[in-house]
Chains A and B, each alone.
Chain A
């Protein structure tokens, strides 16, 4: 029996790896997800069978079965209902549940450990799992609230200093405890630690800017993975260790990728600080050319190659479906339409791709930034919808600009750029966009969704 279970865990581990491997192409990704899910079911079922064959009280089994049944149903319901624009919030919430599970597991296990003799190493691992789990739990909840716009950034000194103090405590207290300076039981100590870690999770996310949430979600995701790996270590369960480590690696990788795409260090993102622009910088007067809807429609219909650069503004306006319609109309006129997507467009890594896929845009039309930039000169018209900083040429040629050094989509190298904007407001970084003053750039003022609708209607007439 034991051997069968071990083989089952081995298969589960391989399925996680295979599932992630299949994610490297959009065509196979669905299969990959299925493989990973099957591996997970196998691991859980086998663990459960081991439970039934051992002499476990019925009440424990009933509670577990109930919890699993309810959890599965709710998970399915929630994932069926969610809007694609709400995906970042949902992923944060699911991440919170993983963290919560890790934390509770630590609390219950601590109680079991107190009754038996255990080695110090396992206790330290359990503490690590509990603390990381608790931070991921509350941190993810705050991240979700921020994404939903319910919680504002708090960057006061008090928040930042108390966060650092708590972080120090989380390292210091276990040391003091193991030297026997804190005379309480292990379980009680774990309760205290989990409380501190939960408060720390809140204070950790509070100062971080709302638009930096892609970084934070990836980071918290990775923290949950690490918590899982710690717990796997305690039980010597390789499926848990492997799963946790893979998730940890994925999270860290995406976190660094996002930071690079915003040209800010992880530390700066976490502190909620921005690169300050040089003092005394004079904002130059820009001469801006306006363009009308019918002119836009005309120029689109006479183009051969059109690129659309979508930003989060597109998702806010819920305009991705009309965008898809526009593309279909243009393709009927033999206009080639591609989307060039900046790595930090949207509210989580790759979010914009999902929104466009939902609007029936074929994934071969979704180009990454590097590919788009290489062929930029070929595009007759580039339509920038709801993006600002990611197309600012100042990032490349103005060392004084706060966005300098950030990789951008070089729309200014195309033949014509049309920027759809609600007003002359500034982007997230709060800097003037040099693009708007260029000769080949025109601005179409108005709400992205209604402007797109009118363009679509005009195109039908032309």
Chain B
């Protein structure tokens, strides 16, 4: 019950996000499905925010968790940077010619 009390806002939020997300994405034409996927993939890299938050709380002498957290931050960044760059590269090819 504590959990519901604490998270009721988020629960509403998730439900709205599901519907809005489906609505927006269903409008993307098939021609752009690959960039959509790699762009979406980059957006899921927002997990990096979580990795940073968790790194803030690791004690400075807890080397195991510092290492794991560092790798997490690295992977998250790689996901974001690679994802957006490669999506941009693909979309550049779809720009009107001349």
Contacts and interface: CB of A to CB of B under 8 A. Distances in A.
Interface of A: 12, 16-17, 19-21, 23-27, 29-30, 32-34, 36-37, 40, 43-44, 47-48, 50-51, 54, 56-60, 63-64, 66-68, 70-76, 78-80, 82, 84, 87, 90-91, 94-95, 97-98, 100-102, 104-105, 107-109, 111-112, 119-122, 217-218, 221, 224-225, 227-229, 231-251, 253-254, 341, 343, 346, 348-351, 353-354, 357-358, 360, 362-363, 366, 368
B23 to A, nearest CB: 9
Contacts of B38: 87, 90-91, 94
Contact of B13 (A30, A51, A241, A363): A241
B21 A249 contact: yes
Contacts of A366: 31
12 contacts: A24-B29, A33-B88, A33-B91, A44-B48, A71-B80, A80-B85, A98-B76, A112-B58, A121-B7, A218-B37, A241-B14, A246-B40
A221 B92 CA distance: 23
Contacts, number: 366
Contacts of B79: 75, 94-95, 97-98, 101
Contact of B49 (A16, A56, A239): A239
A249 B25 contact: yes
Contacts of A225: 40, 44
A25 B30 CA distance: 10
B76 A26 contact: no
Given A59-B66, A60-B58, A112-B54, 16 more contacts: A17-B24, A26-B91, A27-B96, A44-B49, A76-B85, A87-B90, A94-B79, A121-B3, A221-B44, A228-B44, A245-B14, A249-B21, A249-B22, A253-B26, A349-B36, A350-B37
Is the contact region of chain B dominated by helix, strand, or loop, or is it mixed? Answer: helix
Nearest to B22: A249
Is the contact region of chain A dominated by helix, strand, or loop, or is it mixed? Answer: helix
Given A20-B25, A51-B56, A341-B30, A245 B75 contact: no
A97 B31 contact: no
B17 A242 contact: yes
